[in-house]
A = this chain, B = another copy of it.
Amino acid sequence: MSYTYKRLDKDDVALLLVDHQAGLLSLVRDFNPDEFKNNVLAVADIAKYFNIPAILTTSFEDGPNGPMVPELKEAFPDAAYIPRPGQINAWDNEDFVKAVKDTGKKQLLIAGVVTEVCVAFPALSALEEGYEVFVVTDASGTFNQTTRDAAWDRMSQAGAQLMSWFGVASELHRDWRNDIEGFGGILGGHLPAYANLIQSRTSAEKG
């Protein structure tokens, strides 16, 4: 009954950003808004930093769900962008699945709003097709913690790995020596406490 560590590999992973839309975001209440915005933008910065192919998708942009938040669109100007005409599970949309397959990656990082639907449904579909699925839990939001707990359990029992954006960044980077400045910049930009450490250090060294 041996265990294989399915480890994020920057060369074999794609990022799926599902339904981070202005209207839907008003439903998210398991994170406070400042924290959640920061987490989502951190994921975007990570994907860009590691040149991970991203696929963006939305549902009903022209209705109450609203448009995808502009920061994400701007972060990935060349990414596949799939406004779904109606499918709730992004995996039910052929264009979306094709875009995933076209990346040629076997690992999928998924974040979205709301967790138990926009994240869980494609996560379970992708697991069924044999992908290794990693949920960015803190860039995925929903109505409350009870709903989140249930969604996490369903995905975890199906074999998805639950991670945080910081864990994702660290598992992808592997070694600080690959680029100290760049990686430190991501941490400093999204972890105020880490930025303070950097600043205190710099100040002391100048001291």
Contact = CB atoms under 8 A, between A and B. Distances in A.
Interface of A: 2-5, 7, 22-23, 25-27, 29-38, 59-67, 69-70, 85-89, 92, 114, 116-117, 120-121, 124-125, 127-128, 130, 137-138, 143-144, 146-147, 149-154, 156-159, 161-164, 166-167, 170-171, 173-178, 180, 184, 191-194, 196-201, 203-205, 207
Contacts of A153: 152, 156, 162
A182 to B, nearest CB: 13
A80 B38 CA distance: 32
A195 to B, nearest CB: 8
A4 to B, nearest CB: 6
Contacts of A196: 22-23, 25-26, 66, 69
A150 B184 CA distance: 23
B203 A67 contact: yes
Contacts of A146: 30-31, 137-138, 164
A56 to B, nearest CB: 16
Contact of A201 (B36, B64, B130, B170): B64
Nearest to A175: B86
A147 B138 contact: yes
Given A86-B176, A154-B163, A204-B207, 19 more contacts: A5-B127, A22-B200, A23-B196, A23-B200, A23-B201, A25-B193, A27-B193, A30-B146, A63-B184, A64-B194, A66-B203, A67-B200, A88-B173, A117-B170, A121-B170, A143-B166, A150-B162, A200-B201, A204-B204
Contacts of A162: 149-151, 153-154
A168 to B, nearest CB: 9
Given A33-B191, A34-B38, A86-B177, A199 B127 contact: no
